[in-house]
Homo-oligomer: A and B are copies of this chain.
């Protein structure tokens, strides 16, 4: 006698036990179909006894819609993205959508991953990739399903974006520093192809106005270490800032530690410093970081609404671009003194 593979319970099994037709079972589990309460009761009882669970796979074949959304993430090591993912998963589930998660390092992995996801007939893609290129946009647009991007400049007829107003926040950061008498401002940029970082830097420079001539720009790469290293190098060059805007909180924490350890400079006694994202670690006492809150909750909620719109468009491409204002969260790193 060979191994007996345990065959999952099907609607036919339930039908047999309840003494009804298979279609009756289907109707018993359907919201829309009409069925006599008694029959329904009987069927649910039989289903419970057999531990029957409706199989969604055939429904996918018939409808062509899987109820699954491909979610493509890059750096989960940034708590901002980890938090956003957590929110996203919950919000999508509330709308009856499942998350098929993919992690991507480079464009190569992306193509590969999308290929696989398409095999599962995902209904849409949501990406929180910080970095976007033309090639990525093209690959995503070619899927011919709705794509929602966070804080990205990707464009395409199937691509929608939900972003915080990065440029405006940059202007606000500059105003804060100017108002408090900063003389030597520094901008710590994120990765070169991070569109959000570029916009934040543009706003900052614009907001500085006449003072932009004094601006020192550092190149980071969105990580704590890159912030620490960039600031350390700057200090070695003899630059002594009294105000800084960092493209994200991770780099801001690195900057704070470098300022303190390498030059004994403290935020905010000596340097006014702002970050972006409002990650939990920024609120930790050791950093007490002033930052911009993108409102993850609202960002995700909006993305889900855009997604729902796109899914209801019935196969026609939808492209929306929504901008949300970031909120300044003032903490000790700009308290002055």
Q: Which A residues have a C-beta under 8 Å from some C-beta of B?
A: 3-8, 51, 53-58, 60-61, 64, 66, 68, 71, 73, 76-77, 79, 82-83, 85-86, 89-90, 93, 98-103, 113, 115-121, 142, 144, 224, 228, 253-254, 256-258, 260-261, 280-281, 284-287, 314-316
Q: A57-B57, A89-B101, A93-B102 are in contact. List 18 more A-B contacts (CB 8 A).
A: A3-B316, A5-B314, A5-B315, A7-B64, A8-B64, A57-B61, A68-B100, A73-B86, A76-B85, A90-B103, A93-B113, A93-B116, A98-B120, A99-B100, A228-B285, A257-B285, A260-B285, A286-B286
Contacting residue for A121 out of B4, B6, B55, CB 8 A: B55
| CB within 8 Å for A57 and B53 given contacts A86-B103, A253-B284 | no
- For the residues of A in contact with B, the DSSP-based class is mixed
Contacting residue for A6 out of B58, B261, B315, CB 8 A: B315
Contact A99 B98 (CB under 8 A): no
List B contacts of A116 (CB < 8 A): 93, 98
Q: A281 — nearest CB in chain B belongs to which residue?
A: B281
| CB within 8 Å for A100 and B103 given contacts A121-B55, A261-B285 | no
List B contacts of A3 (CB < 8 A): 314-316
The distance from the CB of A147 to the nearest CB of chain B, in whole angstroms, is 16
Contact B71 A76 (CB under 8 A): no
Q: A5 — nearest CB in chain B belongs to which residue?
A: B315
Contacting residue for A57 out of B66, B90, B103, B142, CB 8 A: B66
Contact A119 B54 (CB under 8 A): yes
Contact A55 B119 (CB under 8 A): yes
Contact A76 B66 (CB under 8 A): no
The 3 residue pairs across chains A and B that have the minimum distance between CB atoms: A257-B285, A286-B286, A82-B82
Contact B119 A53 (CB under 8 A): yes
A99 to B120, CA, bound (A): 12
The distance from the CB of A303 to the nearest CB of chain B, in whole angstroms, is 16
List B contacts of A55 (CB < 8 A): 119, 121
User: What are 30 A-B pairs with beta-carbon distances under 8 A?
Assistant: A6-B315, A7-B64, A8-B121, A53-B115, A53-B119, A56-B121, A57-B61, A57-B66, A57-B120, A68-B100, A68-B120, A73-B86, A76-B76, A76-B82, A76-B85, A77-B79, A89-B102, A90-B103, A98-B100, A99-B100, A99-B101, A224-B280, A228-B285, A253-B286, A256-B286, A257-B284, A257-B285, A258-B285, A260-B285, A286-B287
Contact A6 B61 (CB under 8 A): no
A228 to B280, CA, bound (A): 14
Contact A77 B86 (CB under 8 A): yes
List B contacts of A113 (CB < 8 A): 93
Contact B93 A284 (CB under 8 A): no
List B contacts of A103 (CB < 8 A): 86, 89-90, 93
List B contacts of A224 (CB < 8 A): 280, 284
The distance from the CB of A286 to the nearest CB of chain B, in whole angstroms, is 4
List B contacts of A79 (CB < 8 A): 77, 79, 82
The distance from the CB of A137 to the nearest CB of chain B, in whole angstroms, is 17
